[in-house]
């Protein structure tokens, strides 16, 4: 996992600042950051609506940093079964888990997580 220190000249970028993005917005931002040569360095996630029997609605907040080596990466957000699919896909691509956050909805007890995987260029 790359760790950035401002004294070392590493700059992180949060296009959204403190804004939480839904799925479509987060995907649009990650595609834009990838085109700019950026990669995610941290991810935060939360459940917006976990009260019903269907899957919860998630929001994410992702920080990006320069990716001069163009290392491959991916991130995922979801319940355990979804995250296992993402982890399997990442393993096939030889990506390593670099960050994971777990969350539990206080009202429903539903559990989910978000993660970043990174690998060689």
Identify whether 34 is part of a domain.
yes
What is the Cα–Cα distance from 81 to 41, expressed in whole angstroms? 24
Identify whether 50 is part of a domain.
yes
Point out the least confidently predicted range of 14-18, 24-28, 81-85.
Answer: 14-18
Domain that holds residue 101: 13-118
The structural domain count of the chain equals 1
Decide: helix, strand or coil at residue 73.
strand
Q: Is the pTM of this model over 0.85?
A: no
Please state the φ and ψ torsions of residue 5, each to the nearest 5 degrees: -120, 135
Identify whether 77 is part of a domain.
yes
Position 68 pLDDT exceeds 50: yes
CB atoms within 10 A of CB 25: 15
């Amino acid at each position: 996992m790359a760790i950035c220190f401002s004294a070392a000249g590493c700059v992180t970028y949060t296009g959204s600042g403190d804004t939480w993005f839904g799925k479509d917005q987060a995907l649009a931002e990650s595609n834009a950051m990838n085109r700019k040569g950026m990669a995610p360095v941290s991810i935060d996630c939360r459940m917006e609506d976990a009260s019903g029997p269907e899957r919860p609605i998630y929001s994410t907040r992702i920080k990006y940093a320069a990716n001069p080596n163009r290392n491959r990466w991916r991130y995922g957000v979801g319940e355990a079964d979804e995250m296992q699919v993402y982890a399997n896909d990442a393993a096939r691509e030889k990506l390593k888990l670099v960050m994971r956050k777990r969350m539990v909805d206080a009202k429903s007890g539903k559990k989910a997580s978000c993660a970043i995987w990174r690998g060689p260029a």
